[in-house]
Amino acid sequence: MSAVTSRLSQDEQKKLLSLFGHVRLHLLYKASIHGFNAGAFHGRCDRQGPTIIVAYNAAGFVFGAFTLKDYTQCNQYIHDEEAFLYSISAERKHPLRVGGLAGQHAFNDGTGGPHFGALVFLNQNRAEILSNPGTSFAFQPEEMHGNDLVLTELEVYRVEGLGDLLDKPWRSIHWSDMKKEELMTAIQTYKPCIRTVNQARVLLVGPIGAGKSSFFNSINSAFRGNMTCQAIAGTAGKSVTTQFRTYTIKAGRGGKALPLLLCDTMGLEDSADAGLDIEDLVNICEGHIKDRYQFSASGPLLESAPGYKKDVTLNDKIHCVLYVVDTCKVSLLNQKILEKFAIIRKKINQRGIPQVVLMTKIDRACPLVAEDLRNVYHSVYIQRMARQLSESLGIPCVLPVKNYSEELELDRDADILLLSALELILNYSDSFLENQEIADEEVHKIKL
């Protein structure tokens, strides 16, 4: 499954966002990937709420239309006082914004391409526009699109309001050097409640590019005191991780290993025959798959295969499952991937393993958090995404974090979020182990 990415440059995106207040843009449709035709557009953009069309031409113009209203193919003229056309070019410091003409409709909601009167996109299902200034909107063609009506690309984004900052955070957290040291000490001195278990074993599961490997690298960096990249991380369209890997974290270079193993897997994909196989995931949870097992595209590991580990102990089993999801893509999780999550959650529940959701890339999802990471629990948008993700996956505990990606130096506040998440994960692992201990005691009593 290829990654669908925005063509907007940083400068173009900054200019586009300046047309709004605090908003987040989610890419819904990209014509070069999904097709330069009305059917592809409506299939991805109908009933999506506020959207903005972003068209590109060879003359260097980025232009389009915004509407608050849904596309529904109702074959009616739609009035929207908030609708506008815009144009961005390198020669202009600020974008051109054109409001609708008084008393005229914003667009014709038909079965064809987006029809804003003065601009008709995907005209006759081709990579071109029809320009008719004066119909609903008035502009000079050379200022709007440079008289170049051929499209090199067309994208449509959903526009989501971020809201303001909450006066009172929806979770309390202390941002101090002392808090960071307390968390590091608590994690380093953690001991599983069952003596025969040496380390808490945590499995990372999530879509491609969500940040599973980056989470391990970030935790490892926090304890090493410098940036590390032990687990391969990337943004490719296919999973960078092709093996089952177990990673040990050490306190400092050459230091003592933490009582924790983070287990990384292939990324989940929406296709049934791509990405991590659910049966392989079950085998991992049961402790049957060895470190560095190479996942096979032909199917899950069979019990009769050489790499299958038959005799397992509680040390080999997974004690907590951590779902990793990109905050920027919470609203874009499609039904197929949600159904796969539901199947996995059911199988994990059957084994009594605690489950936690890690919401990554919060700084990219919310500019207010990018300005100051300590805004994370004051952000209306991050709270909204956490609730939406919890409801979509059916898992109450959602933890927002920022992994290290391009940074060269550690950040105290990023470490505190990461370490707070890790402390809770260890507590959840203990809950699983305590249940195993109780179950063993009950079996022992029955035998007596």
The structural domains of the chain, ordered by start, are 10-161 (no CATH), 177-447 (3.40.50.300)
The structure tokens listed for 399 are 């933890």
pLDDT of residue 176: 97
pLDDT of residue 443: 40
Q: Which of 127, 120, 173, 108 is nearest to 34 (CA)?
A: 127
d(CA 78, CA 73): 11
The Cα-based distances of 226 to 110, 233, 253, 382 in angstroms read 56, 17, 9, 28
Model pLDDT for residues 182-216, shown as the tens digit of each residue: 999 999 999 998 888 989 999 999 988 889 989 99
Model pLDDT for residues 64-98, shown as the tens digit of each residue: 999 999 999 999 999 999 999 999 999 899 999 99
270 Cβ contact list (under 8 Å, min separation 6): 1, 334, 336, 337, 340
202 Cβ contact list (under 8 Å, min separation 6): 260, 261, 262, 263, 318, 319, 320, 321, 322, 425, 429
Q: Print burial letters for 309-346: b (CB count within 10 Å at least 16), e (below 16).
A: eeeeebeebbbbbbbbbbbbbbbebeeebeebbeebbe
* Residues 16, 22, 28: CA angle, nearest 5 degrees: 60
pLDDT of residue 291: 86
Helices (H), 35-100: 38-45
417 in Cβ contact with 401 (< 8 Å): yes
- Single pTM value for the model: 0.71
The structure tokens listed for 330 are 């919470």
Place of tokens 């927002």: 400
204 in Cβ contact with 264 (< 8 Å): yes
Residue 183 backbone zone (phi > 0: left; psi -120 to 50: alpha; other: beta): alpha
Mean pLDDT, 10 residues at a time, the chain of 448 residues: 78 92 89 96 96 97 97 96 96 94 95 97 96 96 97 96 87 95 95 89 91 92 86 53 84 86 86 78 90 78 82 93 93 86 94 96 90 95 94 95 91 97 95 75 42
d(CA 377, CA 383): 7
